[in-house]
Amino acid sequence: MKPKLLIVDDSNVSRLMIRGRIAVLQPDWEVIEAASGDEAVALVPMAKPDFITMDVNMPGITGFEAVEKIRQTDQRVRIVILTANIQSSSREKADHLAAKFVQKPVTQASMQQAVDYFLAAP
């Protein structure tokens, strides 16, 4: 079965850019999308993604709140917090939620960082 990545971002442009970069780095991956944290929380139990890129600042619940909810039922999925909010407190929150912090903008380098984390042994 193909590895499945869930992209969570309210910005259509960001989703498009992440999808484009992933297609170059991991052309075999299946990619699905959610435009909010709430949508992601509802989608995860059904779609069972292997990996998630999670934006933080979105309408409705924040990315951190979404990860907290996802972690209640899924400890397995590997999550990258992908955000422009680079405050130390954001990095600490990501650590606390057993997620990797990757700084926006979406570039080949930042996506490579995410992919390396996804593929590293847990």
Partner 1 sequence: MKLNALQLDALAEIFNHGVGQAALALSELAGEEVQLSAPKVEELSRTQITDKLNEQGANRICAVRQGFSGDINTEALLMFPVDQSLQLVQLMVGDDFPLAQLSEMEQESLAEIGNILLNSVVSSVADMLNIEFEGTLPHVELGQVSEVLHTSESLDDLILSLQINFKIASRQIQGYLVFLLDVASSDMLEKKISAFLGSLS
Q: CB-wise, 45 or 59, nearer to partner 1?
A: 59
Q: Is 21 in the site for partner 1 (CB under 8 A)?
A: no
Residue count of the chain: 122
Among 21, 78, 100, 104, binds partner 1 (CB under 8 A): 104
Q: Is 96 in the site for partner 1 (CB under 8 A)?
A: no
Collapsing DSSP to helix, strand or coil, 52 comes out as strand
Reading the block at residue 2, the tokens are 């193909």
- CA–CA distance, 114 with 55 (Å, rounded to integer): 13
Q: Is 78 in the site for partner 1 (CB under 8 A)?
A: no
- CA–CA distance, 59 with 30 (Å, rounded to integer): 25
Among 23, 25, 47, 59, binds partner 1 (CB under 8 A): 59
User: Per DSSP, which regions of the chain are E strands?
Assistant: 4-8, 30-34, 51-54, 78-83, 100-103
Among 7, 90, 97, 114, binds partner 1 (CB under 8 A): 90
Q: Is 84 in the site for partner 1 (CB under 8 A)?
A: yes
Q: CB-wise, 26 or 110, nearer to partner 1?
A: 110
